[in-house]
Amino acid sequence: MKINVLTSNISFDELYFTGKTCVVIDVLRASTVIVNALANGAKEIIPVGTVDFAMKVSGDAFRSQTLLGGERNTKKVEGFNLGNSPLEYTPEIVNGKSIIHYTTNGSKSIVKAKFAENLFIACFNNLTAVVEHMNKLGKDFEIICAGNNGSLNMEDSVCAGKMIFEIQKRKKDLVLSDSSNACLIMYKTFSKSILKMLKSTEHGKLLIENGFVDDIKECAKLDATDIIPYFSSGVIKKLELNNSA
């Protein structure tokens, strides 16, 4: 079983992902938002690559069943119902709703990997659930770190490293690429405190400056849920046991 990590979402063409099994990570905050929204009863998440497309797919006919969520430069987009704080996605607000989701790096990463055979979303909140599922699947896979506008970011790389560390405990014959080994090293350096690591990253500092310190605490929670978001035909839903993946 081979694991490779892409430390940002820009380097690869959409066709690179065709037929692959992939896990998208955007710890701060898109994956954490998606996991929380589904845990709190959202029907589905529709990731979109542009704000224009988000506006287009949220027509009047579906307004009562649809919410627009996401951010640009950490802030809620004008005209959207929700920002990109996982704490906004409460059961009262999201239960039964379809959420159209646009973010600077995370939702673009998911859209880019749309030709993957299997596409899961992970963060610290659901890490062990995803690890157990990948271990059971037993397929080679690619971890796509959303990163920061084409650059590696620490939080996604550390989360990828934690996933690899946990799978290594369960499977002895793992083959790791250089980037997988790099993430493993980064995780081991920061394993004592995920929260402290998140606060020390470039994006963590920016979120703190913009008043989102509680979001960081939410994003640091390890294994708060066993929900695995699964992308298929343009939509992210909870993976059910009878699902093909």
List residues near its own copies by CB under 8 A. Answer: 4-8, 10-12, 148, 150-154, 157, 177-179, 181-182, 185-186, 189, 201-203
All residues at 6 or more sequence positions from 86 whose CB lies less than 8 Å from its CB, including other chains? 29, 32, 33, 35, 36, 37, 215, 218, 219
Which of 8, 10, 208, 34 shows the shortest CA–CA distance to 121?
34
> Phi/psi at 69 (nearest 5 deg)?
-135, 155
Which of 204, 85, 189 shows the shortest CA–CA distance to 155?
204
Minimum CB distance to its own copies smaller for 97 or for 162: 162
Minimum CB distance to its own copies smaller for 46 or for 154: 154
Shortest Cβ distance from residue 31 to its own copies (Å)?
17
Shortest Cβ distance from residue 152 to its own copies (Å)?
4
Taking the C-alpha atoms of residue 215 and residue 85, their distance in angstroms, rounded to an integer, is 6
Minimum CB distance to its own copies smaller for 90 or for 200: 200
What is the residue whose two structure tokens read 């659901």?
A: 126
Shortest Cβ distance from residue 190 to its own copies (Å)?
9
Shortest Cβ distance from residue 111 to its own copies (Å)?
17
All residues at 6 or more sequence positions from 111 whose CB lies less than 8 Å from its CB, including other chains? 47, 48, 49
Minimum CB distance to its own copies smaller for 197 or for 228: 197
User: Residues, the chain, total?
Assistant: 245
Shortest Cβ distance from residue 182 to its own copies (Å)?
6
